Amino acid sequence: MFEICAQGWLKQARHCPSPHFNERPVDADISLLVVHNISLPPGEFGGSYIEQFFQGHLTSKAHPFFDEIRDMQVSAHCLVKRTGEVVQFVSFNQRAWHAGVSSFEGREQCNDFSIGIELEGTDDLPYTDAQYQTLVAVTHAIMSTYPNITPARVTGHEHIAPGRKTDPGSSFCWNRLKAEL
Ligand SMILES: [Zn+2]
């Protein structure tokens, strides 16, 4: 059983605080969970470039793509690595910057009212069993702490930003996740 403390941090996560967050609007109810994917460099797994990117200190010159993204101020609440390890960057009570221009059931600016979880991966490579197990455990903890997030309000970045985003992609098995929520 994963647990979330009153300050909005998962006790089981490795904490890597990001400066890329701010307060949610006063009236925001936390009522949506958004699943994403990321890999840095694209298509490569392992290492700590994602943590560095979300923490605003991706200084490596190891890949030309890093030059394109290093000044972007983005984050997610959590990252689930290929091993199933979970890393948390932003308190769930705060607004992380993961969704961008987005809309869910007619309500825009999903960052205001959502929690963003990144899976280390790509749109077309299967996610690992360990990632599904961790995602299920984290989602259960989130749903019990933020009861306005229900299984029907667990969605993908591709669904709230269609035409602009494609993650977590066809490689993500929604039936597998939803069956365990
Ligand atoms: Zn995304």
Per-residue pLDDT of the chain (181 residues; tens, 9 = 90+): 999 999 999 999 999 999 999 999 987 799 999 999 999 999 999 999 999 999 999 998 889 999 999 999 999 999 999 999 999 999 999 999 999 999 999 999 999 999 999 999 999 999 999 999 999 999 999 999 999 999 999 999 999 999 999 999 999 999 999 999 9
CA of 7 to the centre of ligand 1 (A): 25
CA of 81 to the centre of ligand 1 (A): 15
**pLDDT at res. 28:** 78
Question: In CATH, what number does 14-180 get?
Answer: 3.40.80.10
Contacts of 180 (CB under 8 A, 6+ apart): 132, 136
CA of 91 to the centre of ligand 1 (A): 18
Residues acting as catalytic residues = 118
CA of 38 to the centre of ligand 1 (A): 7
CA-CA-CA-CA torsion for 53, 34, 145, 86, nearest 10 degrees? -40
Q: Can you read off the two tokens belonging to residue 82?
A: 């290929």
**pLDDT at res. 26:** 83
d(CA 93, CA 8): 5
8 Å CB contact between 2 and 140: yes
d(CA 65, CA 40): 9
pTM: 0.97
**pLDDT at res. 27:** 76
Q: Which of 172, 99, 88 is nearest to 131 (CA)?
A: 172
Q: Which residues surround ligand 1, an ion (CB under 5 A)?
A: 36, 157, 167
**pLDDT at res. 143:** 98
